[in-house]
Structure 1
């Protein structure tokens, strides 16, 4: 009888052990396959935009998918207003910001960033009838500068253009229209955006494509400060992606015409 009881106890212990091991394995697998939620504002083609069916599309979307493949995690893109990206990251509605976001001291106070994957430069879209030629010309009483809310251009304008009237808008298109209609002297944004909008409105605008800051604005992926492991994984991905020519392939796919134009004008490119 004692042998039977001992046998049953041994079988029960083995079952518990196997269930425990299975549970640990399942948890590990769940962690590896956990959905990666990436926030971006799909209003900045060709980096972040939508296709004809309304699906996320663009350079940053491809980059996000490649990151997910590298991490072995499925990716879900959450489209939201640019100004809402950091609050959404802090409240854990998203896991990563990948939306052409610039590293800044102000942002580093509340979130962390990966290594930079791109450089961008601030330039000017100017109304054709405005006396403004350079950014310093904006720092006068009566000058009006259109700024997209929540961008690094807002930080620059508030810091270096105290005399100008800063007009804040949620959308890039609204900023451009202010300049086109003569309601603002200029719009500050990256050189690609300025170049494209100047091409679209050649009779109403001028462009000063010479960067007015010595150091470029660095784009990186935003993560929560406590997500150190994820940050390290993203940094490893960026390093390997660069080494394997991933950014060159993306720029050839989405920015080939801009790339050649910038090269001919001796304007620094993103990658």
Structure 2
């Protein structure tokens, strides 16, 4: 039976328990180490550029409206934080994509209690790289035009006041896409079919994407929450009957 619409926190909580279990820790350590190095590098760079970025985005106001700077500054700080967050998440997921796909496989084995996937081998992991990276490029192709549009919007005076809320909503949706796509891709569900399936479960998807978005904003904690999000998304796939989407795709292919 599909879970309630606001089940995102439950999926993430159970996903965290799964990745901390002895049988799955091994598949978490390597992507965790990669994400840690990337995170440290990005934080170091962003720390040196943060004030400059905020100053560039802040609109130039006439002197008689200068008091508004104190109101607008926090908004543009949030905007820069969201941009840095998106950059880190995007890079981390591209680099860790093969490991995340493999982790999703192993989580599904644990959840279903049956193993329909090939046994682990480094050869199998390497063989997953082209497919998973191609899928990440597809996500990037979906993300970039929309992100560029929002980025341009951020520089338009007055209109840019809505940029931060739009980034937030878009970010929540992208988190759902990013992580739920791992189990969907493992089962060879097409990109458009995956998006259609998520739209059918829009509230469940936004609930999951929202909680993932929130925890990934927390420095250091986000490193562990990335694999937890993969596990939680796999639970989402299994319990929200992702197999139905696969069956529907097969019917369309055969007709």
The two structures have a TM-score, normalised by structure 2, of: 0.24
Larger radius of gyration: 1
Greater fraction helix? 2
Larger relative contact order (CA 8 Å, sep ≥ 6): 2
